[in-house]
Amino acid sequence: MTFVSPPGYQPVYNPSVPYLGPIHGAVRDGVSIYIQGSVPEHITRFLINLLCGESDSSDVALHFNPRFDGRDKVVFNSRKDGSWMSEEKIRRMPFSKGEPFELVIMITSKGFQINVNGKDFFLFPHRLPMERIRTIQVSGDVTIQTINIIGGAGGSGGGGGALPGGTGGGYPGDHMGGGFPGSHLPAVPFGAGIPGGMNPKRTIIIRGLVPYGATRMGFNLVVSRTQDIAFHLNPRVKEGVVVRNTRTGGKWGKEERELSGSPFTEGQYFDMSIRCGNQKFKAFVNGQHLLDFFHRTNFREIDKLEIDGDVQISYVHF
């Protein structure tokens, strides 16, 4: 069986900064831009611009500019025909020096709703038509792990006009199937039914953060009827291993541990997809193939995802 990425699912991983990259397709109400990154201990400022063209001299629909200058603030603005408009200064700082962050720019009919680390921060009203946006620009004192565009398929996933990263699910707040309502991140332990159950080519996407001090976590594909765990994925952070197993009738099977390393490390975000085939699961983390796990039970009986342990979850999509 050939495994391929879900249609339209093309995040940008670890881009060099300054970064200038295209946003393919039409930007419209309901699209979200999801960015995972971190700011250094000695930050002064960084910026994220949504440009109406393909160069850094284009009109700027959104200028988002956190400044650590003794009077910490975030500056919002727009630029048209080479001239900046009036600044909006928010004298609160949602970012912490030396810490990772999750930033979501939710594009609504009213403006750009900014969400940082699961909390609404500010709504910046549109000054230029959102449909003109073509490019995203990042520069300054910031490191980026992922940039992902969500919701471009209009909630159906992989349809015509899908944007890169449009998974058909939703980041918290965009009210599309597979995401979580509002800006509240799901609590761990986490459990959710898998709509329609497990089948070949089904992909489950999980994004989150491994907090500092984490020791282990578990991602389980479960048969609700028997409480059997058909696939147990168990990153053990301190050991640097990812253990795989199955539990049937209350008894664990033989562990699989062979891997050259683990991508689950303290203080780092991860973007994981688990894809089901007729013979095995394939797990990918941050765009790289991590492991295969051959089925030991009837995968078609799987109907639930459970997550527990030392992990913060920001997004799940079935």
Q: Is residue 179 part of a domain?
A: no
pLDDT tens per residue across span 215-272? 999 999 999 999 999 999 999 999 999 999 999 999 999 999 999 889 999 877 788 9
146 plus 195 within the same structural domain: no
pLDDT in tens, 40-51: 999 999 999 999
Looking at the domain assignment, is residue 181 inside a domain? no
DSSP-derived 3-state class of residue 249: coil
Q: What percentage of the chain has pLDDT greater than the value 70?
A: 85
Domain final residue, candidates 118, 150, 182 = 150
**Is 158 inside any structural domain?**
no
pLDDT band at 146 (very low <50, low <70, confident <90, very high): confident
Q: Are 173 and 113 in contact (CB under 8 A)?
A: yes
Task: Specify the pTM.
Answer: 0.58
Domain co-membership, 127 together with 213: no
pLDDT in tens, 53-70: 999 899 999 999 999 988
- Domain span at residue 197? 190-317
Q: Which of 99, 86, 103, 127 is nearest to 47 (CA)?
A: 103
Residues whose CB falls within 8 Å of the CB of residue 83, separated by 6 or more in sequence, listed in order = none
Q: How many CB atoms lie under 10 A from the CB of residue 101?
A: 19
277 belongs to a structural domain? yes
Whether residues 146 and 19 share a domain: the answer is yes
Read off the tokens for 36. 């995972």
Q: Would you say residue 174 has pLDDT above 90?
A: no
pLDDT in tens, 13-50: 889 999 999 987 778 887 888 898 999 999 999 999 99
**What rounded mean pLDDT belongs to the chain?**
84
Tokens 């053990």 label which residue? 236
State both tokens at 247. Answer: 């539990």
Residue 169 inside a domain? The answer is no
Distance (Å) of CA 262 to CA 269, 285, 313: 13, 10, 18
Same domain flag for 102 and 205 = no
Residues 19 and 145 in one domain: yes
Q: Is residue 68 part of a domain?
A: yes
Sheet holding 143-150, edge to edge: 12-13, 143-150, 32-38, 100-107, 111-116, 119-125
Please indicate, yes or no, if residue 2 is contained in any of the structural domains.
no
Q: Are residues 146 and 250 in the same domain?
A: no
| pLDDT tens-place string over residues 67-90 | 998 899 999 999 999 999 999 999
299 φ, ψ to 5°? -65, -20
- Which class for 131: exposed (0-12), middle (13-18), buried (19 or more C-beta within 10 A)? exposed
Q: Domain count for the chain, please give it.
A: 2
Specify whether 288 is located in the same domain as 214: yes
Distance separating alpha carbons of residues 232 and 247, to the nearest angstrom: 8
End-to-end CA distance of the chain: 20
Q: Are 145 and 41 found together in one domain? A: yes
Residue 185: the pLDDT is 56
CA 207 – CA 314 distance, rounded (Å) = 6
Task: State the Cα torsion 166-170-172-176 to the nearest 10°.
Answer: 140
Task: Decide which of 120, 150, 180 is a domain's last residue.
Answer: 150
Based on the domain organization, do 199 and 69 belong to the same domain?
A: no
Q: Are 142 and 214 in a shared domain?
A: no
In this structure, are 119 and 237 located in the same domain? Answer: no
Same domain for 139 and 261, yes or no, is no
308 occurs within a structural domain? yes
> Can you give the CATH number for the domain in which 248 is found?
2.60.120.200
Cα–Cα dist 125/191, whole Å: 37
**Average pLDDT of the residues in 89-112:** 93
Q: Is the model's pLDDT at 104 over the cut of 90?
A: no
Last residue of a domain, one of 150, 177, 210: 150
